[in-house]
Structure 1
Amino acid sequence: MPIDPAAFRTAWPQVVRSLAVTTRSLDHGEEFAAEAFARAAAQPDGAITDLVGWCVQVGRRSWLDALRHQAVLARIQPQLARPEVAPVDVSPEPGEDLDDRLALLFVACDDAIAPGAQLVLAMRVVCGLTVRQIAAHLGIPEATAAARLTRAKATLARARGEFAVPDGAARDARLPIVLACVAGLFTVGQRDELQPADATQDPARDALTLAEALVARYPADPEVLGLRAVCRLGLARRPGRVRDGVALPLDEVDRTAWDRRLLAAGLDDASAAVARTPGRPGRFTLEAAISGVHASAGSAELTDWQRLAQLYDALLAVWPSPAVRVARLVVLGRLALTGDRAPDLDRIERDLEGLVADGPPYAARDASLALADLARRTGRTEEAAGRYRELLDVVPEGPLREFCRRYAP
């Protein structure tokens, strides 16, 4: 039977968490969950009324079968003798009311695991993406994604032993890593999935779901509110970014298509995050303010680029990432074009060239897009076309590649 994408998104983390508790292993939990969902998809329509319970039951029996083949039949005989239709308890451990997806995310964001591997593990066990999908989303070879996933699981097993959701104090300590991981999921979705066709393959929506759960857990934390603001505002502005399968530059985006309800909610979050920041704003409070400036502008021309430059300067001080450096240079390029500052434009292009040469792949690609855009806006048509042609070799299939093709005749 075809599994409804919304049902899958809800059921996957519940099944993984339940099976991880049963098998005492996150690796085995997601392995047997994947097998159970595959079997569920092969069932006739109407055969399954409780997807979570059915998959947990099948996953547990698959695990028991594996143990039986390991010559431990005698030890698990009482469990194997349970009736086939016995009810399955998939409720959390006593006293544990943490959302299933959030619980798995706190497990995946263990500080014993390298940051890049945390994101891969989260996308696998929290979102249910395949290794191939993860590699495509992150722009890395499939073998690299698989190796990171294997290392993450091995590191987690060595560092923590049996599967367990961290307690309140440990979760608080992991919160900065969790926020960064959710932001990474959102960035992946916004960068590569301008028009996601499948709800089960939309990391941006997954990120918003996790941000909502985080706000429920930490309602007064300005950084948590800031992250939800970023997710809400980004998703609110996603409609209108594509026309006839081609991504649109900022000047041509159809702002009337924006989700006004989500936009208002995101602006409220951004305001609350700023208001609750006692001193120097953090990364996500500043990112929320930046998104708020874009969301509040009636057009690209009416955008407060000067304010954006100030906010990016502040963001660069607290989070000096290559992505922020590129975004800041894009804003400065806008100011240079509107403020008649040609020498500044030369310097901006030199800095972008440096990121193309030495930055990580995602930053190099974005810097190349920025250079092509500046060339196009300053009348250097042939240079712009050449840059867009080069980008056709690195931008994956989709609206963004069609945008490059549009300006690379």
Structure 2
Amino acid sequence: MPIDPAAFRTAWPQVVRSLAVTTRSLDSGEEYAAEAFARAAAQPDGAIDDLVGWCVQVGRRTWLDAVRHQAVFARLQPQIARSEVAAVDVPTEPGAPGGALDDRLALLFVACDDALAPGAQLVLAMRVVCGLTIRQIAAHLGIAEATAAARLTRAKTALARARGEFAVPDGAARDARLPVVLACVAGLFTVGQRDVLEPVDATQDPARDALTLAEALVAEYPDDPEVLGLRAVCRLGLARRPGRVRDGVALTLDEVDRSAWDQRLLSAGLDDATAAITGGASTAGAHTGNPGRFTLEAAISGVHAAARDAADTDWNRLAQLYDALLHVWPSPATRVARLVVLGRLALRANSGDGGGDGVGDARNPGPIERELEELVADGPPYAARDASLALADLARQTGRTDEAAARYRELLDVIPAGPLREFCRRHAG
């Protein structure tokens, strides 16, 4: 029986969570869920009415069979010469998961256990819960695939050793793990926006999955500025995705068809961004006085979403926001994005368009290009790729056509097939 991809993506976290509670192990829950879905796929069409219930039942029976087998073996082994064997005690199954926490969100909070190293938390959560491949996780984190695979194995072992039985954390523990959960959801969204500019199958869209998780987080933390900021980033990013591709080729910011943007999602995202910014402002005084990463990212997305076109974009405001973001989240991705904004200001200043106010010597793009070159040479692969794209675009926009073409040709070797690669191919000739 072929399993519909959408039904699988909905059922998987529910089955894993239920079986993890039953087996008292996230690793075992995942193992028996996979076995149950494999058996479901082998059933004739129409044989299963309730995929979740069927897989949970089959997974539990498979686990109980294994427990009985192990119990019998353990009891027989020291008494192998005796003819009588006592009855086997089968452990009772714990009750169903409690609370109304979304199943995928519950698994995220389990995976983001503070007993694990931060890198291990991210790999475990992004693989088991978010469903990203090892290749995607490695690319997002800027590490080798073998390193990501090893972290995943160690994380499962360390989690079982540190916590023993599987259990969804309570409110206080969830609050402590929230920053890592937010980072995981943001990573899922970034992978979706980076790798799937034009998704063919809505069930294979990491960015949409990230929005679903962000909405579940807002249901749990309706007044948290960072949670609202993350949902704003997801909503605004998805609202602006239509119009980014034409005839299979990615478009530049100046070419994007803004009339194709999803206005309903755009309005909802701007509302979230406003709530995050105002909410953050009302609570910041009691803490650091600085907005958090996702509040700033929401503000940045809001500036882009509110502009009528690329020329109307408030690039000076974006430069200020990226400076603030770099202070609270100094990642290579932030550095590249900030340099792209400074490159825009340099081009505007040199064209006499009045850009560059308050951002230093914006008329001289040399330092910008040198810093981008440093990221190409020393940054993680994703940042090196984005920095190379930024350098190629700067060369193209300043009339250095041969240099731009050469850079785009080099990018053809590192960008996978898709609209962005076709963009590079179009400008490499």
1:383 to 387, 390, 403: 403
- Alignment of 1:189 with 2:192, yes or no, is yes
- Alignment of 1:309 with 2:319, yes or no, is yes
Cα distance in 2 between the residues matched to 1:342 and 1:319: 23
Change (3 A) 1:346 1:115: same
Cα distance in 2 between the residues matched to 1:397 and 1:130: 17
Q: CA deviation at 1:112?
A: 2.5
For residues 211-222 of structure 1, the aligned pairs below 5 Å read: 211-222=214-225
Q: Which moved more, 1:390-399 or 1:206-215?
A: 390-399
Contact 2:376–2:383 under 8 Å retained in 1: yes
**How many matched pairs?**
399
Note the residue ranges of structure 2 that are not aligned, 5 or more in a row.
Answer: 74-86, 285-289, 351-360
Q: Which amino acid aligns with 1:16?
A: V
Note the residue ranges of structure 1 that are not aligned, 5 or more in a row.
Answer: 80-87
2:334 to 314, 324, 329: 324
Contact 2:244–2:256 under 8 Å retained in 1: yes
Aligned to 1:61: 61
Q: CA deviation at 1:49?
A: 0.6
Cα distance in 2 between the residues matched to 1:299 and 1:54: 52
Q: Which moved more, 1:146-155 or 1:162-171?
A: 146-155
Q: CA deviation at 1:32?
A: 1.2
Q: CA deviation at 1:130?
A: 4.8
Q: Which moved more, 1:195-204 or 1:135-144?
A: 135-144
Q: CA deviation at 1:270?
A: 0.3
Contact 1:129–1:201 under 8 Å retained in 2: no
Cα distance in 1 between the residues matched to 2:254 and 2:401: 18
Q: CA deviation at 1:181?
A: 1.3
Aligned to 1:291: 301
Contact 1:111–1:177 under 8 Å retained in 2: no
Aligned to 2:378: 358
Aligned to 2:358: none
Aligned to 2:2: 2
Q: Which amino acid aligns with 1:153?
A: K
Aligned to 2:367: 347
Change (3 A) 1:48 1:153: same
Q: CA deviation at 1:37?
A: 1.5
Aligned to 2:413: 393
- Tell me which structure has the larger Cα radius of gyration: 2
Q: Which amino acid aligns with 1:336?
A: A
Q: What TM-score, normalized by structure 2, do the two folds share?
A: 0.88
For residues 4-403 of structure 1, the aligned pairs below 5 Å read: 4-72=4-72, 74-75=87-88, 91-93=96-98, 96-131=99-134, 134=137, 141-277=144-280, 278=282, 279=284, 280-340=290-350, 344-403=364-423
Change (3 A) 1:275 1:201: same
Cα distance in 1 between the residues matched to 2:159 and 2:265: 37
Cα distance in 1 between the residues matched to 2:362 and 2:88: 78
Contact 2:236–2:269 under 8 Å retained in 1: yes
Give the RMSD, CA atoms, in angstroms: 2.1
Q: CA deviation at 1:202?
A: 2.0
Q: Which amino acid aligns with 2:54?
A: W
Cα distance in 1 between the residues matched to 2:264 and 2:95: 35
Q: Which moved more, 1:186-195 or 1:56-65?
A: 56-65
Q: CA deviation at 1:164?
A: 0.8
Contact 1:111–1:174 under 8 Å retained in 2: yes
Q: CA deviation at 1:71?
A: 4.4
Q: Which amino acid aligns with 2:121?
A: Q
Q: Write the deviation string for residues 37-73 of structure 1: whole angstroms up to 9, x where unpaired.
A: 2222222221111010001111112222333443447
- State, as a whole percentage, how many aligned pairs show the same letter: 83
Contact 2:345–2:362 under 8 Å retained in 1: no
**Secondary structure of residue in 2 paired with 1:275:** helix
Cα distance in 2 between the residues matched to 1:265 and 1:134: 29
Q: Which amino acid aligns with 1:26?
A: L
Aligned to 2:353: none
Q: CA deviation at 1:361?
A: 1.3
Contact 1:222–1:276 under 8 Å retained in 2: yes
Cα distance in 2 between the residues matched to 1:261 and 1:403: 29
**Secondary structure of residue in 1 paired with 2:267:** helix
Q: Which moved more, 1:117-126 or 1:7-16?
A: 117-126
Q: Write the deviation string for residues 184-240 of structure 1: whole angstroms up to 9, x where unpaired.
A: 111111111112233443221111111101101110111110010001001111111
- Following TM superposition, the consecutive aligned residue runs of length 4 or more in structure 1 with deviations greater than 6 angstroms are 136-139
Change (3 A) 1:236 1:205: same
Change (3 A) 1:342 1:226: closer
Contact 1:137–1:192 under 8 Å retained in 2: no
Cα distance in 1 between the residues matched to 2:88 and 2:140: 43
Cα distance in 2 between the residues matched to 1:250 and 1:113: 40
Contact 1:103–1:165 under 8 Å retained in 2: yes
Aligned to 1:84: none
Contact 1:8–1:200 under 8 Å retained in 2: no
Cα distance in 2 between the residues matched to 1:76 and 1:392: 62
Change (3 A) 1:211 1:305: same
Q: CA deviation at 1:382?
A: 0.9
